Structure 1
């Protein structure tokens, strides 16, 4: 690939910025000064920028146990973002796979692989997501059938897709949905006259949030785990 593109893939620099540092004489290839941005290089060559050895960072996949009080965006003037909990190189390239509300906790995926993200978050792939909801009022068993048939949400033209409701106790439920409408879980319970007091996402596809991942912490997914997520789409 071109030298300027290689530098972009290894740093936060734009293509024009990479070209500038190359022409300034700050880049060496196999210990030889190189001032041509179009020079063809390979990943096995030793390429240094201002004395620092560069290395291409491949696609990355993370799981986070999101705490309440953090937003799923790269920048927010009023709240901390989930990315303030991370310490990764080229962090600006990462994005969350879908979003969890400010007060919602639980399983959050983060990546820089747009195709992988789309497979999981796109409504057409119907990837299952399971939430534990604590409610203001007891839930009647009839809600199981209502959610399985689909409910109309306020302001929507079409009912929700069939969802699976498990009543753990009168005011605690597990709800599995296969789409991701705005505030969907909260609005579904509102549609049957109830209110979600607390919400926690436990599972996406077959992947469950492990008890070993403390709230506010994250880890990189293994290749096998990342591949499993890619296979959950229909």
Structure 2
């Protein structure tokens, strides 16, 4: 790989900015100052800028506790939106490469997974993978215990030809439940309860597959997934 490309891949610098940086003599490769942008380097080369090491940005796997009034979009600065993107909450370079694996509505809070690994993201979002998602749901009206069986059989959503896939409903109280679904239709959770004549007043995603939202993360905070969490998908 050319040295100027390596610098661009490791920082937010453009190709022209990387070339100007090289001219200053601030960049060394394996202990020697290099000013040529065309210098070839290997994966084992040690590249320093003012004594600080650079490394290529590999795949990243991020857990975010999404706050309300944020949107799950990567189109930063290109839409006239009232709300900021969840991507803007991340302090990382090359954020334009990141994609959201499983979006949430603007008023829905909780676990969002963000990555630049397309295949990993596909295993979460592809309908054929049936990746489970668990939500904590607060309702406007008390829910009858018989609803658990209705969810287990599938709910007929307005505008849909088929029932939803079987879902698991656990009661916390008459107006608070835990719901696990295995698909991701548009506004699905809200529409499922609307089909039973109820209304969702608060919705919080707690888990995707085997990945649970870290209770140490406050709303708006994030961290990288552990190897175990990443490999569970």
How high is the TM-score relative to the length of structure 2? 0.85
Verify: 1:120 aligned to 2:124, yes or no: yes
For 2:211 and 2:110, how far apart are their aligned partners in 1? 12
1:177 aligns to what? 181
CA gap of 1:180–1:100, structure 2 versus 1, over 3 A, is: same
Structure 1 residue 6: Cα displacement: 2.7
For 1:23 and 1:5, how far apart are their aligned partners in 2? 10
Verify: 1:201 aligned to 2:197, yes or no: no
Counterpart of 1:108 in 2: which secondary structure? strand
1:96 aligns to what? 100
Structure 1 residue 181: Cα displacement: 0.8
For 2:150 and 2:91, how far apart are their aligned partners in 1? 44
Structure 1 residue 222: Cα displacement: 1.3
- Cα offsets for 1:54-113 (capped at 9, x unmatched): 321221111111111111113253211112222112222222211011111111111111
Structure 1 residue 201: Cα displacement: 0.6
For 1:45 and 1:159, how far apart are their aligned partners in 2? 56
Correspondence list, 1:53-202, <5 A: 54-74=54-74, 75=76, 76=79, 77-202=81-206
Q: RMSD over aligned Cα, in angstroms?
A: 2.3
1:26 aligns to what? 22
Structure 1 residue 49: Cα displacement: 7.0
For 1:71 and 1:201, how far apart are their aligned partners in 2? 15
Q: List alignment gaps of at least 5 residues for structure 2.
A: none
Counterpart of 1:41 in 2: which secondary structure? coil
CA gap of 1:69–1:22, structure 2 versus 1, over 3 A, is: closer
For 2:63 and 2:158, how far apart are their aligned partners in 1? 32
Counterpart of 1:131 in 2: which secondary structure? strand
